[in-house]
Amino acid sequence: MEEAKGVVKHVLLARFKDEVKSDQIDQLIKGYANLINLIEPMKSFQWGTDVSIENLHQGFTHIFESTFESTEGVAEYVAHPAHVEFANLFLSHLDKVLVIDYKPTTLRS
């Protein structure tokens, strides 16, 4: 197995509160995506909704994944004023959240 050199993935699983309308969710997602333009260590951003047929989502409906070059980059992102302001807004619309940061590992055979 080979751990990626420095690269860190920041994954957030979310379930929005029932009263949050789809247009509000769209605006929140656009705000999240815009962080890549405001916070230099954030190198990429992707998101999606659950499409699994296994029904193991535990209530989570959305996934957001950001890529950073290092754990230091994640720390800079978390402390950045634009992230802090956005996170306060975003989290107030969530019923459930889970965040995991990991270094991707590739299995070589």
The residues carrying an active-site annotation are 77, 80
| Residues 6+ away with beta carbon under 8 Å from 102 | 8, 9, 11
Residue with structure tokens 């957030």?
A: 12
